[in-house]
Structure 1
Amino acid sequence: MKLKSYFLLVVLVCIFFVTKGQNIKSLEAVSKQDANPENQAIIYGSFVQRLGFSSGGFAQDIRIMNVETKEIFSFRVKPIFKSAKENAFCFYIKPGSYKILNYWWTESKWYGGKMFTEYIFKGIESSKVADKLKKGEIQVNNLEQYSFRVTDSSVHYLGTWHFDKELVSFSNNKEQLDITIQTEYQKINWVQAKPEIPE
């Protein structure tokens, strides 16, 4: 029975992505042996997830869009098999302007997991967007997405992403993260990284 449930879950996930019709590219993780980037950029920060231990072994992702090229990218903010409430992230990215699209996460259930895709907008809880639009309390034109900009051959600190609540927020804790991240990635100059907190 568990195998059947798992197979059904896999099929549903595949159908979801195919019907979306979007080519989502995964950002490449920075290796612990890598040095400061040339002709590309690095983004890093810390992510506070919605769930703690109840997230099970499921991964969680953020999807962003390059404003100029309209390409959609995904990057992992909670690794598989980790239940820590807060995790650091560090990825290569093309230079450009980006908007945060959504937060993709799975809640552990007895039958496997329940997936959620939350579209992120400024000043509004993700679960209330559809209802407020339906009631006419907000208009599509008034919805604003968080954005950030990345320049070539540079390292950008994107802040601490507080996604533990539906009304998300971002804070600057660069000094604290730099202390821990430099022990793992010793060849990158974190001190000179440019803060670029989404706004």
Structure 2
Amino acid sequence: MVFKKNQDIIKMKYLTSIALILVTLFSYGQNFKTLEVFRNNDTIPSGKAIFYGSFIQRLGFTSGGFPQDIRLINTDTKEVFTFRVKPAYKSTKENNFFYVIKPGNYAILHYWWTQSKWYGSKFFTEPIFKGIDSKDDLIAKLKSGKIKESDLIRYSFTITENSLNYLGTWHFDSGLVSFTNDKKDMDNKVMEKYRNINLSTATINLPN
């Protein structure tokens, strides 16, 4: 009886742990703020910062006219922010992004995207962690022991006040995401459009 009771306690603790992970992974979508797009004739707002980069999406043409977003969390204030990485009605595989953000420490929470289906559409909210395929059933892997809670490490970056930050090329075309430094190529493509900021002074600030 004592052995069975101990087993029940262990099982309850395990289920509680899984429940907490579920809350952590999916509850942030309830309240989030949309980041302001940095326009080509703007300058860095006082007390804030700019980040930019390019995003390679999962689907390409089969994304249809649906937008795709990334959600970030400020790990200090716990505020959640969202920004668009693939505009609506645009099917190009790679898109640039430029946004205004408050200084702080940030982590990538989710990749939110929609796939066009013959019957309409299918929505996906993928939690993003280092070295973990976001297309897999994360909860099933946790329950089976294939991954541990300690393996759930998010990509993060720090933004300082009045700064210009290059966040790299975001490779989200597969479940295992990665980030590369293609600053020179990107700057050459967009410098004529963003003449009010000096892209050559931007800090290379890839999520890690």
Give the TM-score of the pair, scaled to structure 2.
0.84
1:59 counterpart = 2:67: yes
The sequence identity of aligned pairs, in percent, is 55
Number of the residue aligned with 1:5:
none
1:81 counterpart = 2:62: no
User: Which 5+ residue runs of structure 2 have no aligned equivalent?
Assistant: 1-26
User: Could you tell me how far 1:22 is from its partner in structure 2?
Assistant: 2.6
Task: Specify the SS of the correspondent of 1:191.
Answer: helix
Task: Specify the SS of the correspondent of 2:125.
Answer: strand
Task: Specify the SS of the correspondent of 2:36.
Answer: coil
Contact 1:37 1:154 in 2 (8 A): no
Number of the residue aligned with 1:139:
148
User: Match for 2:183 among 159, 174, 183?
Assistant: 174
Whose Rg is larger?
2
When residues 85 and 106 of structure 1 are mapped into structure 2, their CA distance, relative to the original with a 3 A threshold, is same
Task: Specify the SS of the correspondent of 1:127.
Answer: coil
When residues 35 and 169 of structure 1 are mapped into structure 2, their CA distance, relative to the original with a 3 A threshold, is same
Number of the residue aligned with 1:185:
194
How many residues are treated as equivalent by the alignment? Answer: 181
RMSD between aligned residues: 1.3
Number of the residue aligned with 2:131:
123
Distance 2:165 2:40 in 1: 17
User: Could you tell me how far 1:139 is from its partner in structure 2?
Assistant: 1.4
Could you give the per-residue CA deviations for residues 53-90 of structure 1, whole angstroms, max 9, x where no partner exists?
00001000000000110000000000011100000000
Tell me which moved more, 135-144 or 151-160.
135-144
User: Which 5+ residue runs of structure 1 have no aligned equivalent?
Assistant: 1-18
Contact 1:158 1:196 in 2 (8 A): yes
- Report runs of 4+ in structure 1 exceeding 3 Å deviation: none
Number of the residue aligned with 2:34:
26
Contact 1:101 1:119 in 2 (8 A): yes
- Kindly provide the amino acid, as one letter, of the partner of residue 134 in structure 1: K
Distance 2:92 2:28 in 1: 30
1:46 counterpart = 2:54: yes
When residues 151 and 20 of structure 1 are mapped into structure 2, their CA distance, relative to the original with a 3 A threshold, is closer
1:91 counterpart = 2:99: yes
User: Could you tell me how far 1:142 is from its partner in structure 2?
Assistant: 2.4
User: Could you tell me how far 1:21 is from its partner in structure 2?
Assistant: 6.8
Distance 1:159 1:28 in 2: 19
When residues 171 and 20 of structure 1 are mapped into structure 2, their CA distance, relative to the original with a 3 A threshold, is closer
Give the TM-score of the pair, scaled to structure 1.
0.87
Distance 1:135 1:84 in 2: 38
Contact 1:65 1:100 in 2 (8 A): yes
